């Protein structure tokens, strides 16, 4: 039998003499199944693993009755320790379980003066074992695109939980946040910093501990740790320009003209978290003719369910270049004058206007309503008198995109990527 260590104490010795350690069986798999209505069978919603139990059996021996009874006491004390490493040699390496002994019995008969059979059951709360040495999946990889896509391949028999490390070098002036996304299932985790990501910043995304740290200090994050699989995983890293709120107007039913001092279009929105790194706005629009000025985009406060005419921040505006807008509907973008803060659960308005006074050269912003409405945190509104009166369309929306995490660098500054993990086993 191979080595069996519990809390660094060898159990495979001439005193405890284990007969077996049963750790090979996988944990129970709990399936969340939704039964089909008016049909046979069901749909697998998700699954999870339960706790793992490891049984041991052996014989404890000593040279005298007194030494046997002392050994029994010592063994009971050892197995009373909570959540300790249970290391078992397996397949040429060591399989580690964080285990607690839940059942420990001695089957001592009257003639057991120098030996006694024993049994023990260990509970592994997290249900899996791990390697004791870390596996380097990616090391010092240069992040040379934004977004940067790569594939990480994980081994083992249980869900991988890697440690992703990002080290920032010199040359970053704009980004304040990063997003790590599993492009297969769409799950993502986001960390936004209150200042620009700078030389020497090290961000660690620890899937095992479920925490994000900056220079070793734990930080709040948005989203979830993406589920990963054994095998290849398609991952994507974005630095700045992280999409938060959005709606689309594809398949639009009509358009609103925007020009002059009277015809404006707006859309309300709400953000779920207070954040001070909002910087970019996208609008789905087109132009008729050749406007001589760009499309002005403002973020305004709310006044009883309509735009107030007041910027949420002195820097909460930007201009979409007239040259970026084509005669066919498409997405166009502008950066605000600076990063601004938006507060959670507070209504705001994106207002689109143009100072062009030429009715033959103007912008048009498509919108959808009714069954195509796809943003439930706000709605479209329109004014024909320069904002004195607004008409709300409660079941309509324009196409807009609102980004936080600062903006992206013009060129990606030095960033290195490391992916490390401990193989996990059922």
- Would you state the pLDDT for residue 111? 83
Flag the least confident range among 177-186, 252-261, 324-333, 381-390. 252-261
Helix, strand and coil percent figures for the chain, each rounded to 5: 5, 55, 40
Name the CA radius of gyration of the chain, rounded.
Answer: 31
Domain residues for the domain of 180 are: 154-241+411-425
How many domains is the chain partitioned into structurally?
3
- Would you state the pLDDT for residue 412? 80
Range 176-186 average pLDDT: 97
295 and 273 belong to one structural domain: yes
What is the pLDDT confidence band of residue 29, given thresholds at 50, 70 and 90? confident
Write the CATH number for 114. 2.40.30.200
What is the pLDDT confidence band of residue 89, given thresholds at 50, 70 and 90? very high
Task: Return d(Cα 205, Cα 207) in angstroms, integer.
Answer: 6
- Would you state the pLDDT for residue 114? 94
Tell the burial category of 219 from Cβ atoms under 10 Å away from its Cβ (0-12, 13-18, 19+).
middle
Range 33-45 average pLDDT: 91
Dump the DSSP string for 16-33: T-EEEEE--SPPPEEEEE
Flag the least confident range among 109-113, 237-241, 247-251, 337-341. 109-113
Burial 130-155 (b: 16+ CB within 10 A, else e): bbeeeeebbeeeebeebebeeebebe
Domain membership of residue 160 (yes or no) is: yes
Domain membership of residue 145 (yes or no) is: no
Q: Is residue 409 scored above 90 in pLDDT?
A: no
Instruction: Look at residues 198, 207, 154 and name the one whose alpha carbon lies nearest to residue 180.
Output: 207
- Would you state the pLDDT for residue 365? 97
Q: What stretches of 40-127 show up as alpha helix (H) in DSSP? A: 65-79
Instruction: Look at residues 397, 408, 383 and name the one whose alpha carbon lies nearest to residue 333.
Output: 408
On average, the pLDDT of the chain sits at: 95
**Residue 232 to residues 158, 229, 235, 262, Cα–Cα distance (Å):** 14, 7, 10, 55
Range 314-336 average pLDDT: 97
Q: Are 246 and 401 in contact (CB under 8 A)?
A: yes
Last residue of a domain, one of 131, 165, 181: 131
Q: Is residue 69 scored above 90 in pLDDT?
A: yes
80 and 95 belong to one structural domain: yes
Q: Virtual CA dihedral for 250, 256, 257, 260, nearest 10 degrees?
A: -130
Domain membership of residue 376 (yes or no) is: yes
48 and 8 belong to one structural domain: yes
Range 379-407 average pLDDT: 96
Q: Is residue 109 scored above 80 in pLDDT?
A: yes
Write the CATH number for 313. 2.60.120
253 and 395 belong to one structural domain: yes
Q: Is residue 359 scored above 90 in pLDDT?
A: no
- Would you state the pLDDT for residue 201? 95
- Would you state the pLDDT for residue 348? 98
What is the pLDDT confidence band of residue 1, given thresholds at 50, 70 and 90? low
Range 66-81 average pLDDT: 96
372 and 389 belong to one structural domain: yes
Domain membership of residue 33 (yes or no) is: yes
CA atoms within 13 A on the CB side of 261: 0
Tell the burial category of 406 from Cβ atoms under 10 Å away from its Cβ (0-12, 13-18, 19+).
buried
**Residue 268 to residues 47, 114, 246, 248, 358, Cα–Cα distance (Å):** 38, 82, 11, 14, 27
DSSP letter for 372, please.
G
Place of tokens 């929306």: 397
Domain membership of residue 223 (yes or no) is: yes
184 and 250 belong to one structural domain: no
219 and 290 belong to one structural domain: no
Per-residue pLDDT reduced to its tens digit, 268-309: 999 999 999 999 999 999 999 999 999 999 999 999 999 999
248 and 387 belong to one structural domain: yes
184 and 319 belong to one structural domain: no
257 and 204 belong to one structural domain: no
62 and 77 belong to one structural domain: yes
Range 217-239 average pLDDT: 97
- The token duo for 75 is 């063994």
Q: Is residue 53 scored above 80 in pLDDT?
A: yes
417 and 400 belong to one structural domain: no
Domain membership of residue 137 (yes or no) is: no
- Would you state the pLDDT for residue 239? 95
Task: Return d(Cα 407, Cα 173) in angstroms, integer.
Answer: 9
Task: Return d(Cα 426, Cα 412) in angstroms, integer.
Answer: 40
- Would you state the pLDDT for residue 2? 84
């Amino acid at each position: 039998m191979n080595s069996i260590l519990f809390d660094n104490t060898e159990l495979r010795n001439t005193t405890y003499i284990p007969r077996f350690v049963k750790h090979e069986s996988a944990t129970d798999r709990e399936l969340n199944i939704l039964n089909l209505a008016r049909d046979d069978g069901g749909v697998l919603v998700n699954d999870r693993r339960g706790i793992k139990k490891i049984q041991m059996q052996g014989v404890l021996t000593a040279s005298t009755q007194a030494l046997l009874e002392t050994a029994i006491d010592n063994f009971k004390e050892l197995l009373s320790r909570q959540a300790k490493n249970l290391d078992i040699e397996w397949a040429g390496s060591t399989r580690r379980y964080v285990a607690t002994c839940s059942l420990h019995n001695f089957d001592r008969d009257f003639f057991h003066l120098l030996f006694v059979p024993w049994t023990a059951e260990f509970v592994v709360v997290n249900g899996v074992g791990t390697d004791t040495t870390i596996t380097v999946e990616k090391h010092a990889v240069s992040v040379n695109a934004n977004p940067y896509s790569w594939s990480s391949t994980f081994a083992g028999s249980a869900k991988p939980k890697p440690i992703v490390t990002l080290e920032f070098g010199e040359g970053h002036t704009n980004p304040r946040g990063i997003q790590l996304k599993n492009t297969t299932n769409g799950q993502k985790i986001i960390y936004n910093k209150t200042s620009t990501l700078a030389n020497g910043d090290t961000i660690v995304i620890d899937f095992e501990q479920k925490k994000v740290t900056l220079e070793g200090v734990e930080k709040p994050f948005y989203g979830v740790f993406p589920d990963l699989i054994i095998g290849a995983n398609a991952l994507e890293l974005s630095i700045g320009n992280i999409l938060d709120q959005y709606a689309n107007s594809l398949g639009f039913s009509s358009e609103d003209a925007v020009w002059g001092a009277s015809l404006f279009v707006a859309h309300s929105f709400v953000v779920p978290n207070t954040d001070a790194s909002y910087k970019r706005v996208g609008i789905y629009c087109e132009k008729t003719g050749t406007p001589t000025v760009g499309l002005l985009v403002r973020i305004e406060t709310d006044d009883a369910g309509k735009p107030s005419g007041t910027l949420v921040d002195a820097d909460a505006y930007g201009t979409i270049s007239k040259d970026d807008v084509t005669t066919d509907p498409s997405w166009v973008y502008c950066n605000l004058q600076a990063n601004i803060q938006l507060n959670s659960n507070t209504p705001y308005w994106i207002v689109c206007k143009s100072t062009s006074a030429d009715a033959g050269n103007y912008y048009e912003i498509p919108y959808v309503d009714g069954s195509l409405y796809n943003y439930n945190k706000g709605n479209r509104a329109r004014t024909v008198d320069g904002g004195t009166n607004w008409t709300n369309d409660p079941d309509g929306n324009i196409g807009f995109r609102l980004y936080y995490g600062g903006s992206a660098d013009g060129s990606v500054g030095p960033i290195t990527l490391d992916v490390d993990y401990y193989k996990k086993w059922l």
